[in-house]
Structure 1
């Protein structure tokens, strides 16, 4: 009996190693493309506004309008993916958002800008929560923070790689009679279409379908995931879609994630122009390279924080709250306070590291609480309402700067959002994590 259990554990451990090697790099590559198409407008901001006739207020509204379409269609999209599987749905999402992103090169006025930003949100709705849900179908809870962290590598890598790429494409200004920002939107949008078709042939819906796993690995991994889902169902989480959408804990997660996203997107949409101001240069290749510095720091910190969070178990709440407050909030405030370019970039680096590292661990909480269709709906709701922070942040930042007549007031407001998120994260301890209540079940498992 012990020999059989040992063989099962060995098969599970080796299967998770294979998942990390095969699936996670591709998922974070998809996220690179998604995040780049979402925020590349920040690189084109000044030239785009000039040539398309977009005012500052219209830019802030349009930049955030993406998240309205995203929020409205997030839950339905995730429920469809739960029904049809990740292969078909991820392909559909990436191809449609790629085509719409490429169409941004055709914007000539504020109305077309608003329409395409809204449609981009509709097209991309379901991608992020779909991947979070997809990971729960493949990875037991004890390994999930680090797998989420590998996926989240897409955010810093989108800026480390995408910043210079966007900068180079902007410098194609005049080629074939097109502005640089038109080249940027067209090329990066078509890349998403190609990756979407690739996803259809590369992804499998669940471990039982994975030919790249041995039969023993498939059985061990599918059994572990199924057993964990059954255990969550028995521990009292919501089982039906409508109950997940009104569950108090799910709504609490929405609020925490909203505050995190206010800080993240408020910083991201304006990071290129902040860096350009700090280094005294126009947005182009140089600014793209300097903008990559904060995300490179985040890249290095992200995995370390997530591995540590997996190891500390129930203490991960305090662990992540500290990263959110010290890393994110203090970092943004420091970037606003210091006029020296080096210190400002250092502050932005601390902020990026804090907000990137806090999010993978955050998602282990709803994933540990929800299962089945309730997980599809609940995770979709948390991400959709949370991402409304991306709509509110640029508008709130502009409002604070106008009302207080200060160029840094908006950044201090974003820092307060990060402080609030950290405080609420500490109070998550009022909700007991259904999986962590039994640390010996998967937490004590041998980790790859």
Structure 2
């Protein structure tokens, strides 16, 4: 890594990362606030845990179907217009969830939300490859993905406060206000994107010509080791499918925590929704710090496989411990903090693998395919946990299943991912 370029990359990061981070906070908050809405809307609408699980997860069916086309369209329209379109449309649909009145409307709106948001995350991962070479990318992905942690830190207390404070205002329930007030910021940020974001290095007016040429040389050198395979070959590549499977197993852990964390805290004996929201911020605070430190260490060492595997193992151990001590708020919260930190730390390091391997249109399609297949776990995880909870009256078996998937992902990334760049 050329340290003489650090000041230039710091300037690039200061321009890009706070804005992309803000976008992801809004995106993730709109994606998982249904976990907090559940605490009230499930009783109001008489939804079973299985119905909630399907509704939470059906988001990812729409996400899966439109992910690859969305990322390919971004390479044609440019990042600025396409990311703005994604954010405005998902913000409007997220707010519309306040009108949920039946199982059907719940399913339809969650599906449409997934279709609208499809392409955002892989689009940003692709966008970062326009600016950063592989040896700098994990820490940038970590900064971006720490939006998940911050969404948890901010979203928990905010969601609990909205649901408690606005309950009954204008005749609407607290969960209805939750969807409305947390959806509108995405629309506003989407409009801001049209004026702020650059499509790439060449269109950045805030860079000098010399700076642009320096950054372009770094990216050009990086792309010499990437594979520019035809699109058809991307979809039949064993390496791409292997990475997609690893990602799916790790994402099982992410959504197992994201959708059920409020319920797990409630199970430990906390009943007030505001207290649940405040306590749910603790695991995400820990994760925000740990994931950035882990990504920095991975970038400096150049090692990816064991960093990913050990983070996944920590996530599994934390979930198992939290489940065993589910009736003890202190131990459960500490274990959930370990679990959340481990799970979230896998992702920025993992994304260094496919972005180092793929370039050009292959990168757009491959990143989107890995993300879309992996995020099917967002449907599978809450559905399985919901079904198990309905059948057993407990989330324990569901959490053990999520932990097992993380263990499998750790084993697979060490045993099978061997010949990819950066491993």
Q: What displacement does 1:280 show?
A: 2.4
Q: Deviations over 1:125-165 (max 9, x none)?
A: 00000000000001011100000000011000001011111
**Residues 316 and 402 in structure 2, CA contact (< 8 A), matched pair in contact too:** yes
The equivalent of 2:414 in structure 1 is 426
Tell me the equivalent position of 2:263: 273
Deviation at 1:176, TM superposition (A): 1.5
Change (3 A) 1:165 1:404: closer
Residue 244 (1) aligns with residue 245 (2): no
State the match for 1:182 in structure 2: 176
After TM superposition, the runs of 4+ consecutive aligned structure 1 residues lying more than 3 A away are: 399-407
Corresponding position: 1:336 with 2:330: no
Q: Residue by residue, what CA displacement relative to the aligned partner does 1:29-54 show, whole Å, maximum 9, x if unpaired?
A: 11000000000000010311222332
* Pairwise CA RMSD: 1.5
| Alpha-carbon distance between aligned partners in 2 of 1:268 and 1:75, rounded to the nearest angstrom | 24
The reply on whether 1:228 has 2:222 as its aligned counterpart is yes
- Matching residue of 1:295: 284
TM-score normalised by the chain length of structure 1: 0.91
Distance change (3 Å), C-alpha of 1:202 and 1:324: same
Question: Structure 2: which 5+ residue stretches go unaligned?
Answer: none
Residues 302-381 of structure 1 aligned to structure 2 (within 5 Å): 302-313=291-302, 315-325=303-313, 327-338=314-325, 339-381=327-369
**Does structure 1 retain, via aligned residues, the 8 Å contact 2:21–2:144?**
yes
Distance 1:116 1:188, change over 3 A: same
1:340 positional shift: 1.4
User: What is the aligned counterpart of 1:255 among 242, 245, 250?
Assistant: 245
- The equivalent residue for 1:151 is 144
| Match for residue 20 of structure 2 among 24, 27, 37 | 27
Structure 1 position 405, deviation (Å): 6.0
Q: For residues 220-276 of structure 1, what are the alpha-carbon distances to aligned partners after superposition, in whole Å with 9 as ceiling and x for unaligned?
A: 0022112322x034xxx2522111111110000110010111111012101111112
Q: Which moves more between the two structures, 127-136 or 51-60?
A: 51-60
Matches within 5 A, 1:169-208: 169-171=162-164, 172-208=166-202
Cα displacement (A) at 1:167: 1.0
Between the aligned partners of 1:124 and 1:351, the Cα distance in structure 2 is 26
